[in-house]
Amino acid sequence: MTADGIFIDLGSRSYRIHIGYNLLSSAGELLRGIIRGEKAMVVTNPTVGFLYGKVLREQLEKTGVLPVMAEIPDGEEFKSLSTAEGLYDLAYRCELDRRSPILALGGGVVGDLAGFVAATYLRGVPFIQVPTTLLAQVDSSVGGKVAVNHPRGKNIIGAFYQPSAVVADLAALKTLPEREVRAGMAEVIKYGVIADGEFFSWLEENLEKALNLEPAALEKIVTVSCRIKAAVVREDETDRGVRAVLNFGHTVGHAVESLTGYKIYRHGEAVALGMAAAARMAVGMGLLDRREMDRIVSILDRAGLPVNVPAHLDREDLIRSMHRDKKVVSSRLTFVLPVAMGKVEIVRDVSEEIIMAGIGN
Ligand code: NAD
Ligand code: GLY
């Protein structure tokens, strides 16, 4: 286990990601030096709260902190300003002050929402991430992107707000539905493609062990993923340049999620078919060897993830949706395309013909 965790060096906003088994039952000790107030708010949902709320509450109480437990309903549709308003109201009624931390106990939905509330309540209170999905442990809990959705688009209202600590208890993933494990694995595969060809090869060898959450494999995928994300965030905390590589697969993925009303695909599933499409585009542009594309598509397929954009989605609508993505700069479509295993390039002005060939007709 990583005793001291992974350190994200961001000057005054630096923090540690603690990764290991049964960390929830020693969370009080891990967070002792970080929590300074007498009160804290734990944001969770009924599913996760039922499983892990008690242990976290007891751990906080042990350190002399009085936790206010706040449950929001389970689902992406509750990552909203109106849910945030309910949390501001509760925090105010319970007299949480500027030193009182907000802890996010759950997946990316709880993490993004609780982080947004932490960033804005009293102009910012300490924030601690306790991610309980694979996707949240390898991606959303790290790097400080917090947001709520707007009826017109996902993550439209948000901020960069780094947590003071991340506590990723690998044992919590035992209760995660298999589909969520597979969706999280898409982001793990992403890290191999964008930054670490050796890790990708290791994943090809050990995918089943990772999907079965075998302890050594699980610890490796979470640790390597967090290290890669930490390095990218260190270089470009506010997403002005290189951080875009983390969006490999997301341009097509976001468009598919949006056109299907965020109801058909889990985020990781949409990213998977976006990564397959980007690999095809890279081959179409002569940037990537076809064998490497086959490796990417094949591992996604083995992980039980979709690799084709569904035929019923109108291709013109998809392109229009890609143009509406908040990452589009001066109406130019930008794609992160693999050029070798472990290496990607940010490519602007990809022709519509190449995009169409990538997403398939
Ligand atoms: P999620 O938060 O909806 O969790 C998925 C499901 O798993 C939920 O039903 C949840 O209740 C359940 N669950 C969580 N932990 C569990 C456990 N240990 N045992 C049993 N069930 C458990 O989904 P997600 O995939 O974790 O997150 C998706 C969200 O993350 C999206 O809103 C996306 O926009 C966001 N996201 C943010 C970033 C970022 O950098 N901030 C990156 C990627 C995704
Ligand atoms: N999930 C993309 C990012 O953190 O930048």
Instruction: Name the CATH architecture for the domain at 178-359.
Output: Up-down Bundle (1.20)
Per-residue CA distances from 162 to 12, 113, 231, 298 (Å):
10, 13, 15, 35
Q: Could you read off the pLDDT tens digit of each residue along the chain, which spans 361 residues? A: 445 789 999 999 999 999 999 999 999 999 998 998 899 999 999 999 999 999 999 999 999 999 999 999 999 999 999 999 999 999 999 999 999 999 999 999 999 999 999 999 999 999 999 999 999 999 999 999 999 999 888 899 999 999 999 999 999 999 999 999 999 999 999 999 999 999 999 999 999 999 999 999 999 999 999 999 999 999 999 999 999 999 999 999 999 999 999 899 999 999 999 999 999 999 999 999 999 999 999 999 999 999 999 999 999 999 999 987 755 555 678 899 999 999 999 998 889 899 999 998 6
| 178-359 matches 2-175 in CATH topology | no
Which ligand 1 atom is the nearest neighbour of the CA of 187? 43
Candidates 3.30.70.3270, 3.40.309.10, 3.40.50.850, 3.40.50.1970; correct CATH number of 2-175? 3.40.50.1970
- Domain locations along the chain: 2-175, 178-359
Would you say 299 and 293 are in contact if contact means Cβ atoms under 8 Å apart?
Answer: no
Rounded to whole angstroms, the Cα distance separating 265 from 29 reads: 38
Q: Is the CB of 74 under 6 A from ligand 1?
A: yes
What's residue 1's pLDDT?
A: 46
Q: Is the CB of 139 under 6 A from ligand 2?
A: yes
Q: Is the CB of 51 under 6 A from ligand 1?
A: yes
Ligand 1 centroid to residue 357 C-alpha, Å: 31
